[in-house]
Amino acid sequence: MNRKMNRKQYRRYHSPVITAERERIEKQLSALTPLTSEMRRFLSFEGFAELYLRMRDLYPTQLEAYERLEDFHITLTGRRRYSEFSSFRRVLNRMMQAMK
């Protein structure tokens, strides 16, 4: 979207206060460490589901495998990916149906 700014808009977005804040935020963002490809994959639905499908036979119950993945997700992001196992299963079932 490349639209022209009027003078009032130009002055606002090029004011010293706005420019300094924009530069401060961009500096913070530039300092962030990029995620590894493994982390990006795990954080995607496909990666999470793939790991679940691999892990579900390695634990006594499917719920335990799912909760272990959620533990790793919480460690990385500070929150659960899904509120509960049943919501994850609904999304997983929809994905599996779409693949058929």
Cβ neighbours of residue 49 under 8 Å, at least 6 residues apart? Answer: 92, 95
| Helix/strand/coil percentages in the chain, nearest 5 | 70, 0, 30
* pTM: predicted TM-score of the whole model, two decimal places: 0.72
Return per-residue pLDDT of the chain as tens, 100 residues. Answer: 457 888 888 888 888 888 999 999 999 999 999 999 999 999 999 999 999 999 999 999 999 999 999 999 999 999 999 999 999 999 999 988 998 7
